[in-house]
Amino acid sequence: MTNRKMFFTMLWGAVFRRRSRAMMAVIASLVGAATLFCLASVCVAVPQQMNEEMRAYGANLIVTPASATGKSQGIDTATVRNVTALIGAGRSVKSAAYRYESVRINSAPYTIAGVGVKAVRALNRHWNVTGDWPGSGNVMVGRDVADALGVKVGSRVTIGYRAADASASASSSASAKSDSDESTETAESSAQGTQSTQTTQGEQTTQATENGRVSSDIMDNNGTEFRISGIVDTGGNEDSIIYATTADVSKLAGHERGADVVEYSVNAMGDELNAIVNRINKNTNTAVKAQTVTRITSSDTRIIAMLQTLFWIVSLVVLVLTLVGVGTTISSIVSQRRNEIGLRKALGADSRALGVEFYVESGIYGLIGGLLGTAIGYVLARVLCATVFGRAIGFDWLLGAGSLLLSVAIAVIASIPPVRRATRIDPAIVLREE
């Protein structure tokens, strides 16, 4: 019998004669591989899944006019198409345009937003709307506006447009819309103060004189009557805005112009999203400036960082437990085969050959456990993603190969201490005990 044939014969007998011990080693590797593959699959899938889920909570990027002239004219349709094409290159993207104007209701100033209802509704699925979205002749008001006016769904309000107020509306509303971090309240107060000052100045310059006296239109309640179709409650800036169709706002203002703000929900995050913003800002042909919505992007980053940190901690614990489990099992196997090892060394067996045999045996345990564990881990990952995100994940072959190799490596590494002890057994002492 050749040495190679003898090697495989001894290896076969070692694995199958002690099936209970071998099963324990396989189970230890299986548990480790299943846990690690499941965690790794979820960790790889979660950023993408989280990004898609967070897109339901509004935009993560906004675009506004870059110049004062652009602010007065808004962002035209052609520019919106060009920017959308630039952002959506190879990515899933949703967008919605907003045109802001200052209006009066019962002599009090408010901001009205002209929107494409279908686009805004698709972009802001988290909005809590009581009633219906705006339509022709119908408006949707924010919760703060509804409380201030004392209206409900079905009520009717007269909205008046004052050209003197228009100069302040775009800049103040765009500022409030784009504000999204810790300084939101400060920016809003500043915007409102600017709007109030500019509006007052506009009123003073446009007031007519009659019989030598200045006549004020501050109590002028003329305007267009609209029905309140719904009330939106988001807990944010949207609660202080009135929403109408773009056509109704253009008709109310008496002219058409571009959007003051275009919101985008892009399937990108982190450095990729920042690269998109930089590319838009460096493109002088678009005449717009882009910025990320800090509130959304920071939430994405923070949640994913926490999940990845948890993954590494649990993975480290699982690795240690797997090493301990496999190492303990191999130590038990070596102890049971102590007499056999002593006899083989007495017959001339080389310590190196004995060590290779044990390492290969451990590698087989790791291979079997890794195969079974990877399969079980994939099933667990699919169930977890389907339960939490409502989506299925595919099998990552690269990750599967890595899990298999890691299982074999852990099993071999865990067997090093007991194998080194086995190769140092003195055959004379073992034979004397027999």
| DSSP character string of 323-392 | HHHHHHHHHHHHHHTHHHHHHHHHTT--HHHHHHHHHHHHHHHHHHHHHHHHHHHHHHHHHHHHHHTS--
For 129-183, where are the alpha helices, taking DSSP H only?
A: 143-149, 163-178
**Is 382 a residue whose pLDDT tops 60?**
yes
The reported pLDDT for the residue numbered 419 is: 80
CA distance 21 to 19: 6
Asked whether residue 235 is assigned to any structural domain, the reply reads: yes
Higher pLDDT, 175 or 69: 69
Shared-domain flag, residues 324 and 243 = no
Looking at residues 338-344, what average pLDDT do you find?
75
The pTM (predicted TM-score) of the whole model is: 0.61
Shared-domain flag, residues 168 and 286 = yes
Cα–Cα distances in Å, from 240 out to 113, 146, 156, 274, 296? 11, 9, 18, 30, 20
Asked whether residue 288 is assigned to any structural domain, the reply reads: yes
Question: In the chain, how many H helices and how many E strands?
Answer: 15, 12
The reported pLDDT for the residue numbered 217 is: 52
Shared-domain flag, residues 137 and 160 = yes
CA distance 233 to 128: 5
**Is 195 a residue whose pLDDT tops 60?**
no
Looking at 294, 315, 349, the residue that finishes a domain is: 294
Asked whether residue 195 is assigned to any structural domain, the reply reads: no
From the CA atom positions of the chain, what is the Rg in Å?
A: 35
**Is 181 a residue whose pLDDT tops 70?**
no
The reported pLDDT for the residue numbered 375 is: 94
Amino acid identity for residue 430 in this structure = V
Shared-domain flag, residues 113 and 146 = yes
Looking at residues 267-287, what average pLDDT do you find?
83
Looking at residues 387-394, what average pLDDT do you find?
77
CB contact at 8 A, 149 and 279: no
Shared-domain flag, residues 32 and 65 = no
CA distance 288 to 281: 7
Shared-domain flag, residues 128 and 167 = yes
Shared-domain flag, residues 140 and 23 = no
Shared-domain flag, residues 274 and 380 = no
Looking at residues 18-43, what average pLDDT do you find?
83
Shared-domain flag, residues 26 and 67 = no
CB contact at 8 A, 176 and 188: yes
Asked whether residue 71 is assigned to any structural domain, the reply reads: yes
For 141-170, the pLDDT digits (tens) are 999 999 999 999 999 999 998 766 655 544
Asked whether residue 186 is assigned to any structural domain, the reply reads: no
**Is 81 a residue whose pLDDT tops 60?**
yes
The reported pLDDT for the residue numbered 145 is: 95
Q: Which of 360-364, 385-389, 403-407 has the highest mean pLDDT?
A: 403-407
Shared-domain flag, residues 9 and 76 = no
Looking at residues 203-220, what average pLDDT do you find?
43
193 pLDDT tier (thresholds 50, 70, 90): very low
Mean pLDDT across the chain: 78
Asked whether residue 198 is assigned to any structural domain, the reply reads: no
CB contact at 8 A, 396 and 54: no
Amino acid identity for residue 199 in this structure = T
For 282-320, the pLDDT digits (tens) are 887 778 999 888 665 566 667 777 777 888 888 888 888
Range of the domain at 161: 59-175+221-294
Asked whether residue 21 is assigned to any structural domain, the reply reads: yes
The reported pLDDT for the residue numbered 191 is: 36
Looking at 294, 319, 350, the residue that finishes a domain is: 294
Asked whether residue 107 is assigned to any structural domain, the reply reads: yes
Neighbours of 347 (CB within 10 A): 8
Shared-domain flag, residues 71 and 86 = yes
> What is the number of domains present in the chain?
2
Shared-domain flag, residues 158 and 263 = yes
Looking at 294, 317, 349, the residue that finishes a domain is: 294
The reported pLDDT for the residue numbered 266 is: 85
| Sequence-ordered strand ranges (E) for 26-152 | 61-65, 93-105, 108-115, 128-131, 138-142
Q: What are phi and psi of 141, to 5 degrees?
A: -110, 150
CA distance 151 to 154: 8
